[in-house]
Structure 1
Amino acid sequence: MHVHVNAATSADGKLASRTREQLKISGPQDFERVDHVRAQNDAVMVGVGTVLADDPSLTLDAAERIEKRESTGRPAHPARVVADSRARTPTDARILDDTAETYLLVSEAASESRRAALADAGATVVVAGEERVDLTAGLDALEDHSIERLMVEGGGELIFSLFEDSLVDELSVYVGSLVVGGREAPTLADGDGFTADFPRLDLVGVDRLDDGVVLKWNCKHR
């Protein structure tokens, strides 16, 4: 599976403020870029923290991209994937509407009642891992559902875990012209952090969009 992590950060690397409220970091040109990248992938993935904070739909905006996917025999929108170890996704979350297929990766620690409720709400529930989602096993299971290209849009805990497991192939980051600050504000890659054997990247592109830049890297697997 090809995994493309895409994110927008402030100039100091923050995804949001310390209150976890969504920030407008980029503008219309980058929104267009993100919609284009989504359309190229089979699924779009976020962590449950993003679902709880932002209630995203993770669907395409441009009608011509929807029509192009349908004309080639693909679903109108990429599938949605949520890494949700304890099955905390609300049953009325927008990602559980019938616009696109939704997969929830949960661990064995998620209660049977929550798993059943989310399945009843329309999700395909995939159990991978004991106490927390085993991302390697989870992504392998997604491949069984014909997901070969996966776009990951955050948050920082999920992105760090993907890097930790050497699962990231490509990273693109829009860096906006604002400073957020705050030691509690989420960053591009949170989690425990690396102290050695740092993931290495090859810079392959720099593009100016809106009032910021998009940096593109290919990832060297450790």
Structure 2
Amino acid sequence: MPRPHVLLSAAVSLDGHLDDASPERLLLSNAEDFDRVDALRADSDAILVGGGTLRADNPRLLVDSAERRAGRVAAGRPAYPLKVTLSASGRLDPGLKFWHTGGAKVVYTTDTTAPALRAALAGAPGTEVVALGAEVPLGAVLDDLGARGVDRLMVEGGGGVHTRFLAEGLADELQLAVAPLLVGQADAPRFLSPAAYPGGPARRMRLLEARTVGDVVLLRYAPKESPDEHP
């Protein structure tokens, strides 16, 4: 089965942070941009976040618009996209909102961690724990999602997950909402970490779109393509 189209989606500060270092979540986007992200979720077959994001942010990862959910159902799709997370450690609190909202969920983990994680999440409705061996390789995750009929995968973080997808050349599209603020804190989480990215520092991605969404600037890139491939 073909792998899904992988869209990375993130909101960042001007200095490249996903959040600040305070216990409260820093809201980088505005109402108009949140609605844009909700539309992206509604158009996706699955939404993926890393285990660290679940622990830090406790997100629900839902399609908020009732109209968009109804449109999915009318098209023969579930009201909510499949929710996906990755966890090699298995440290996932069964009380998180992720497990108790929306529809089906899949957790990809290791052979060693899977039995305990299945036991811990036995009370989480619609949750499947999938063991992928000694590690959690992204290629195997995409292969399994493709076999489940996932055509469009939206990846919402965190920074470690975005870094892996880009470093391994697995992202088809990057949508970056740049907010007009500066975090300036050394211990605040960053969008990307140091990595051996394909092509190195000299390689330029092809820009697909740049537009304003309220006071946020949306940048869309094709990470696998270069400008000189499209004269």
Which TM-score bucket, shorter chain as reference? over 0.9
Pick aligned residue for 2:104 from 101, 104, 119: 101
Q: Against the structure 1 CA distance between its residues 220 and 67, is the aligned structure 2 distance closer, same or farther, given a 3 Å change threshold?
A: same
Q: Which moved more, 1:104-113 or 1:158-167?
A: 104-113
Q: Against the structure 1 CA distance between its residues 102 and 16, is the aligned structure 2 distance closer, same or farther, given a 3 Å change threshold?
A: same
Are residue 167 (structure 1) and residue 170 (structure 2) matched?
A: yes
Gaps of 5+ in 2: 227-231
After the TM superposition, which residues 115-194 of structure 1 pair with which residues of structure 2 at under 5 Å, given as runs? 115-122=118-125, 123-130=127-134, 132-190=135-193, 192-194=194-196
Residue pair 1:173, 1:216 contacting (<8 A) in 2 also: yes
Gaps of 5+ in 1: none
After the TM superposition, which residues 36-115 of structure 1 pair with which residues of structure 2 at under 5 Å, given as runs? 36-97=39-100, 99-110=102-113, 112-115=115-118
- Once the two structures are TM-superposed, the CA of residue 16 in structure 1 deviates from its matched residue by 0.9
Q: Against the structure 1 CA distance between its residues 49 and 214, is the aligned structure 2 distance closer, same or farther, given a 3 Å change threshold?
A: same
* Aligned Cα root-mean-square deviation (Å): 1.9
Once the two structures are aligned, what percentage of the paired residues are identical? 36
| 1-structure distance, mates of 2:75, 2:48 | 22
Aligned residues: 220
Residue pair 1:39, 1:77 contacting (<8 A) in 2 also: yes
| 1-structure distance, mates of 2:150, 2:98 | 17
| 1-structure distance, mates of 2:225, 2:169 | 6
| 1-structure distance, mates of 2:27, 2:128 | 31
* One-letter code aligned to 2:215: D
Q: Against the structure 1 CA distance between its residues 196 and 146, is the aligned structure 2 distance closer, same or farther, given a 3 Å change threshold?
A: closer
| 1-structure distance, mates of 2:122, 2:33 | 34
Are residue 197 (structure 1) and residue 199 (structure 2) matched?
A: yes
- Once the two structures are TM-superposed, the CA of residue 143 in structure 1 deviates from its matched residue by 1.4
Q: Against the structure 1 CA distance between its residues 221 and 116, is the aligned structure 2 distance closer, same or farther, given a 3 Å change threshold?
A: farther
Q: Deviations for 1:96-146, whole angstroms, at most 9, x for unmatched residues?
A: 12521111111224252223322442321111241x311110111111211
Q: Normalising to structure 2: TM-score of the pair?
A: 0.89
Residue pair 2:117, 2:129 contacting (<8 A) in 1 also: no
* One-letter code aligned to 1:126: V
Are residue 220 (structure 1) and residue 208 (structure 2) matched?
A: no
* One-letter code aligned to 1:107: T
* One-letter code aligned to 1:214: L
| 2-structure distance, mates of 1:102, 1:60 | 14
- Once the two structures are TM-superposed, the CA of residue 19 in structure 1 deviates from its matched residue by 4.2
Equivalent residue for 2:12? 9
Q: Normalising to structure 1: TM-score of the pair?
A: 0.92
| 2-structure distance, mates of 1:217, 1:184 | 27
| 2-structure distance, mates of 1:118, 1:11 | 38
* One-letter code aligned to 2:28: I
Q: Against the structure 1 CA distance between its residues 91 and 194, is the aligned structure 2 distance closer, same or farther, given a 3 Å change threshold?
A: same
